Structure 1
Amino acid sequence: MSDPSLTIDNILAPELTLCRVPASSKKRVLEFIAERIHFQDETLSDTQIFSNLVSRERLGSTGIGEGIAIPHCRLEGLDRVIGVLMTLEEAVDFDAIDNQPVDLVFALVVPKEATSEHLELLSQLAERFNDNAFCTALRQCEDAGTLYQRMTNRNH
C-alpha cells in the first residue's frame, strides 16, 4: 500500500521551488537540480544525484511534452522523497517526446527501494501538468513564493 501522506504538497519544500532559473541546456538544468538538493541537505551528493538523473535521461527523455519535464531518479541511502520545482528563464531543448523545448520542470529524487511511491508521485504530477490552466499559472509566477503556493494549493 502506498503512503497516503506522500503527495506533491508534502515532498516539495519552499527552498526547492525556484522561479525563472537561468539554464542554457538540459545538462545545466539537471546540474542545477542536484546542486540545489545538495545545498539544502549537504549529506546528499550533488555528483551522485546528477549522475543518476543523467543515467535516467539516457533511458529516454523525461520531457513529457507541452514544455514540461519530470526528471527523476533513485538515490542510495535516501530516507525520503525530494521534489524540486523550477520554471526556467528560457525554454531549453530536453529531447521531449513532442520536440518542444521545456520551461517547466519538476524533479523527483526517491529512495532506492521506493518503487510504488515513485510511480504514484509521477502519476500525480502528470495529472496536474495535464491541466493547461494550471501550467500557465505556474509559468506566470514572478517569484518562488507564488510558485510554491500555486503548486501546493490547488485553488482552481
Structure 2
Amino acid sequence: MNITDLIAPARVVCRSDVASKKRVLDLVSELIASGGSGCGSREIFDSLVGRERLGSTGLGHGVALPHGRIPGAEQALGAFVKLARGVDFDAIDQQPVDLVFALLVPEHFTDEHLKILAHLAEMFSDRAFCQSLREAADDATLYQRLAAWSAVSRATTS
C-alpha cells in the first residue's frame, strides 16, 4: 500500500492550533470531506466519534489513528494533522497526541480496513519517522516525508 493512495497534499496540515480531541476530529473530518469522499464532514465526524466511543485510537507516543466506516463512501481516504501542541486523546500511555492520521473507509471494506490500519500502525511505530514529522516546518515537507516513508517501506518489503 502506498500512503499517497489515501492522502493528498491538501489533506495534510502542519502545526494546527486546535486544542481538543473534538476539534481534531472536526478538522480531519473537514479535510476528508474536501477530498472527494462523497460524504459530508458531519457524517464523517459522527463516524469517527462513534469509533472513539468504543475505545480511544490514541496509540501512544503522541500518535492517534482515528478511523471510521461510512456507507456510500467510494474509497478509503485519509488526512494527516501535526498539532502545534499535543491534546488529550485518551491514549494508552496517557500522553498528549500531536500526530493524527484519520482514516475513512467504505462500509464494505473489511480486510482492506485492517490492512490499512496495520500499515499505519507500522508506519507510526517508527520513532525516527515520527520525529522527522514533528520537525517538518510546513505542509509540503510533511506530505513529502509521509510519502517517502511509504516508498521506503515498499522497497524493503518487495
TM-score (norm 1): 0.92
Give identity over the alignment, percent: 48
Contact 2:76 2:106 in 1 (8 A): yes
| Aligned residue in 2 for 1:89 | 84
Contact 1:25 1:92 in 2 (8 A): yes
| Aligned residue in 1 for 2:64 | 69
1:42 deviates by: 7.7
- Structure 1: unaligned runs, 5 residues or longer: 1-5
Match of 2:121 among 118, 121, 126: 126
| Aligned residue in 2 for 1:110 | 105
Contact 1:8 1:121 in 2 (8 A): no
| Aligned residue in 2 for 1:152 | 147
1:128 deviates by: 1.0
Contact 2:37 2:77 in 1 (8 A): no
1:7 deviates by: 3.0
1:151 deviates by: 0.4
- Residue 88 of structure 1: SS of its match in structure 2? strand
Contact 2:58 2:64 in 1 (8 A): yes
| Aligned residue in 1 for 2:136 | 141
Contact 1:11 1:83 in 2 (8 A): yes
Given residue 132 of structure 2, which amino acid in structure 1 is its aligned partner? A
Give the aligned CA root-mean-square deviation in angstroms.
1.5
- Structure 2: unaligned runs, 5 residues or longer: 154-158
Using the alignment, how far apart are the partners of 2:6 and 2:46 within structure 1? Answer: 22
Equivalences for residues 12-27 of structure 1 within 5 A: 12-27=7-22
- Residue 108 of structure 2: SS of its match in structure 1? coil
Using the alignment, how far apart are the partners of 2:9 and 2:71 within structure 1? Answer: 24
Using the alignment, how far apart are the partners of 1:60 and 1:93 within structure 2? Answer: 14
